[in-house]
Amino acid sequence: MDFKKVEIMALKYGNKPHYRWESRILEQNKEYVVVGSRPGRTLKHFSREEEFQFNKWAVEFFFFNHWFTTAVVMEDISGPEIDQYYCNIAQPARYENDRISFVDLDLDLIKKKNSSWQVVDKDDFQINQKRYDYPPELVQKTWQALNNLQERIASGEFPFNGAVYEYVDIINCCLAPVSGKN
């Protein structure tokens, strides 16, 4: 099975490039796109003018009607234990011309293995409100999106309902490691 390559582009408010990487589409419908990434992918970080290499597997969810993205990160896809959930509070994603893009609104909700959920980057949110001139409605919507995401997690709604393991099966089947590497 061949999975379409797609570019993921995170933007800052005002559509300024923030970071970019490539992945493969595992599922797409009118509500969301799910992508799978192999270890070894490179992330170009425009804001820091650096490139980073990620050596873990990831299943990522981009929603067209919800104000968040979710990356589920795993060390070993063959016996998947989730290392981390990383959720960006973001304006709804867009998918066009082989590119998924979203506006990152700074606040992140993260859960690392053996720890509880934590809100991070509140300082960045405060700084960027001024730097990018966030309108008051956007600030309010960002905090509301964080609360909605926390409620979604607490109630076990998709993708926090174990659905990631369905995609792990697809990855195991069809996105095999390159050259025997994970």
Span 5-43, pLDDT tens digits: 999 999 999 999 999 999 999 999 999 999 998 888 899
Which residue from 22, 84, 28 is spatially nearest to 56, judged by alpha carbons?
84
CATH number for the domain harbouring residue 122: 2.40.380.10
> Which own/partner contact pairs does 51-56 have at CB distance under 8 Å and 24+ positions apart?
54/21, 56/83
Q: How many domains does the chain have?
A: 1
Q: 55-97, pLDDT tens digit by residue?
A: 899 999 999 999 999 999 998 877 768 999 999 999 999 999 9
Residue 159 scores a pLDDT above 80: yes
Residues 16, 131: contact at Cβ < 8 Å?
no
Residue 178 scores a pLDDT above 50: no
Residues 98, 6: contact at Cβ < 8 Å?
yes
pTM of the model: 0.92
| pLDDT on residue 182 | 38
For residues 144-171, average pLDDT: 94
- Spell 162-175 as b/e; 16+ CB within 10 A means b: ebbeebbebbeeeb
State the residue range of the domain holding 19.
5-180
